[in-house]
């Protein structure tokens, strides 16, 4: 609701978080290779965040919502027993924010097996732990 040009939101008007799994920021530790046979689109993007249910990444290419894509998640060595996770996904949204040069592509994983799920869960835990350590040392180092 807008009153005199100011937007007012009431507690019952907030959108509920519809995520099925908690996400974590990647901070330049995840690169995503993607390709879609339906649109003949291929590219590489930098990961923004990841969960066991999906991934969001930046891309120079626009991918229409509903597009089926094959993804290869490239992660740094030493985190998992592999450096790549291959999976199938569906594009949920692709948008370009104000003053952004790249599209933000959000994908939901489709039909992942138990091994892939466990690898994704391990990656998410590692990223969360690293984020906590980074924030702890970043903001407590001046004392």
Written out in words, the top-level CATH class of the domain with range 18-129 is: mainly beta
Q: What is the DSSP string of 33-85?
A: EEEETTTTEEEEEEEEEE-SSEEEEEESS---TT-EEEEEEE--TTSSS-SEE
Look at residue 16 in the predicted model and tell me its pLDDT: 53
CA angle 128, 139, 29 (to 5 degrees): 35
Tokens of 39: 């649109």
CA–CA gap between residue 105 and residue 91 (Å, rounded)? 7
CA–CA gap between residue 56 and residue 48 (Å, rounded)? 5
Quick check: 59 and 29 in contact, CB under 8 A?
Answer: no
CA angle 117, 17, 98 (to 5 degrees): 100
CA–CA gap between residue 129 and residue 57 (Å, rounded)? 21
Per-residue pLDDT of the chain (143 residues; tens, 9 = 90+): 566 767 666 665 555 555 567 778 887 789 999 999 887 889 999 999 999 999 999 999 899 999 999 999 999 898 899 999 999 999 999 998 778 889 999 999 999 999 999 999 999 999 988 887 765 554 555 55
Q: Which residues contact 30 (CB under 8 A, 6 or more apart)?
A: 46, 47, 50, 55, 57, 73, 74, 75
Look at residue 7 in the predicted model and tell me its pLDDT: 67
Predicted structure pTM score: 0.77
Give the CB-side neighbour count of residue 75, counting CA atoms within 13 A. 21
């Amino acid at each position: 609701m807008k009153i005199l040009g100011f937007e007012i939101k009431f507690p019952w008007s907030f959108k509920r978080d519809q995520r099925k799994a908690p996400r974590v920021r990647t901070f330049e530790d995840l690169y995503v290779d993607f390709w879609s046979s339906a649109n003949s689109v291929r590219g590489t993007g930098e990961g923004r965040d990841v969960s066991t249910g999906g991934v969001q990444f930046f891309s120079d290419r626009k991918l229409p919502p509903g597009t089926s894509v094959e993804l290869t998640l490239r992660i740094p060595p030493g985190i998992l027993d592999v450096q790549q996770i291959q999976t199938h996904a569906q594009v949920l949204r692709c948008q370009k924010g104000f003053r952004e040069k790249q599209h933000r592509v959000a994908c939901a994983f489709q039909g992942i097996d138990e091994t892939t799920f466990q690898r994704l869960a391990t990656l998410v835990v590692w990223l969360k732990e690293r984020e906590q350590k980074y924030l702890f040392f970043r903001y407590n180092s001046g004392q």
